[in-house]
Amino acid sequence: MVTRRTFVQTGLLGASSVALLPQLSLAEAPEKKPPTRFIFLHKGNGLLPGSLVPPTFDKQQLELENRKQPLEIDLNGHDLPQWMSPLSDHQKNLTILQGLSGKMCTTGHHTWCSSLGVFKANERLSSIKWATVDFELAKMLPSPFGHIELACFPGGGGNSRGNINGIEKGFSARGPQQPNYAFGSPKVAVQELFKSVSTNQKSKANYQLEQQMLRFVAENQANLARQLKGFEKPKVGNYADALANIRSRDARVESMADVIRRNMPKLDEKYLADNLSTVDRQTGHTEILLSALISGMTNVVTFTLDELGTRYTGLPEIEGENVNQHDVGHGKAVARFSALEVREKIRQQHMHVIDQIVKRLKGIPEGTGTMFDNTMLFYFPDNGETHHSHGTEWPFVVLAGDNTPLNLGRRYIRLPGYAKEGHKTLGNWYTTILNAYGNPTEHYGALDVGLAIDQKGPIQKFLG
């Protein structure tokens, strides 16, 4: 029997954001200002701060870096660390940001919504205190889907509970006690996100049946809500509203069918298989991410590149290995490569993903420039600085288009170290981004109770 709860929680979970106003591509609406876009890419097993330091820093710069002293250096004339070499063509848009802390987050092995929500989170829904920053930005940037989340889930435990190809709780949150849901495989993401414009007759028939069921269940729940009293009335009413919102979203997506069809992800069959390597899974998800942004289905995408329990396959020179990241975090070598070298291979694979995204967006005209001009991309760890993280550092790699209001670009920036005067937290960083793009919140995120400095507000130097 399909219950109300079962219906709402299956098939449509990955696209459950409330539909607002459609955003067409600039080609469809040239008179409108291009939308701003955000891409959040996060990784498991920490991001070692020392790995982001350019090898061409001089002795004085390295001394300041090692003492966690403030440092701001133009990257022009400096080499990037080897693993970041895929970003060499994008150095003009690159910022390496060091020195943020996140001890108010859950740290250690698994952090759930912490790195995006700036609060202590765990597997319980009750731990989700508010919407994660990506959803706060999505609220400001209306689109049919609002927000889309993709993930290379861990194979055992973690959010997916081993269902790495399904639609499972992701690493973002829509609001208090409201987890988001992420697509675990390119195949499922294509089926769910692009079903309304499918040319496959069976898929079209299934979509029409789904729409009829949505209409029936929504009307049924709305009628039921009118008859109820007490606490059950708003509960059932919320189900009815959620279904109505999905129907409204689908209608808006249907109105964009031509644009979406032109930008459908072009994926070889190997990327749509159930059994695919981690690297191929990342490639498939990247194509879906780009299609969703280019077509205007969403302006905000979050992509979990891997989590600690994600078993890596397909890495160059160790393609046949099934890499256990937990073992790597404890220093275990893989084949002839040391743990640090394996970490570097994983990070370099992530940089190839970023290069693919940025190159594509730079190649699409929009307004007087390109789509990338109106895009910000963030690459960061979901648990801080290392395998057993403490949250004293939370490194970021940022790529920002020319139209960003933030004062970044082509710089290596180290903010004052933990507890030092002028130190800044993950909450300060997200407050800065929200303020810069139109949300004047005083402060986003929880405070670090062990930090005896003023922690509230944005980082003013980035707003200058």
Three-state secondary-structure class, residue 193: helix
pLDDT tens track for 287-312: 999 999 999 999 999 999 999 999 99
pLDDT tens track for 321-332: 999 999 999 999
In a domain, 43, yes or no: yes
Domains contained in the chain, number = 1
Instruction: State what percent of residues in the chain have pLDDT above 90.
Output: 74
Q: Pick from 134, 184, 98, 182: which is nearest to 384 by CA?
A: 98
Both structure tokens of 353: 């993903």
Mean pLDDT, the chain, whole residue set:
87
- CATH number of residue 45's parent domain: 3.40.720
Give dist(CA 193, CA 370) in Å, integer.
25
In a domain, 192, yes or no: yes
In a domain, 243, yes or no: no
Give dist(CA 304, CA 311) in Å, integer.
13
In a domain, 316, yes or no: yes
Position 20 pLDDT exceeds 80: no
Give the pLDDT of residue 252.
72
CA 393 to chain CA centroid, nearest Å: 19
In a domain, 214, yes or no: no
pLDDT tens track for 184-233: 999 999 998 988 776 666 665 565 555 455 455 555 655 665 666 665 65
Give dist(CA 171, CA 202) in Å, integer.
32
Residues 6+ apart with CB under 8 A from 437: 36, 137, 140, 405
In a domain, 209, yes or no: no
The Cα-based distances of 377 to 37, 156, 354 in angstroms read: 8, 29, 8
Both structure tokens of 116: 């995006």
pLDDT tens track for 135-175: 999 999 999 999 999 999 998 766 777 789 999 999 999 99
Residue-range definition of the domain harbouring residue 52: 14-196+276-462
Strands of the sheet with 167-175, listed across from one edge: 71-74, 411-414, 94-98, 396-400, 375-381, 37-43, 300-304, 148-151, 178-183, 167-175
Residues 6+ apart with CB under 8 A from 259: 24, 25, 27, 28, 295, 296
Give the pLDDT of residue 198.
65
Give the pLDDT of residue 7.
35
Amino acid at 9: Q
pLDDT tens track for 377-427: 999 999 999 999 999 999 999 999 999 999 998 999 999 999 999 999 999
Q: Pick from 257, 261, 303, 256: which is nearest to 284 by CA?
A: 303
In a domain, 224, yes or no: no
Three-state secondary-structure class, residue 404: coil
In a domain, 269, yes or no: no
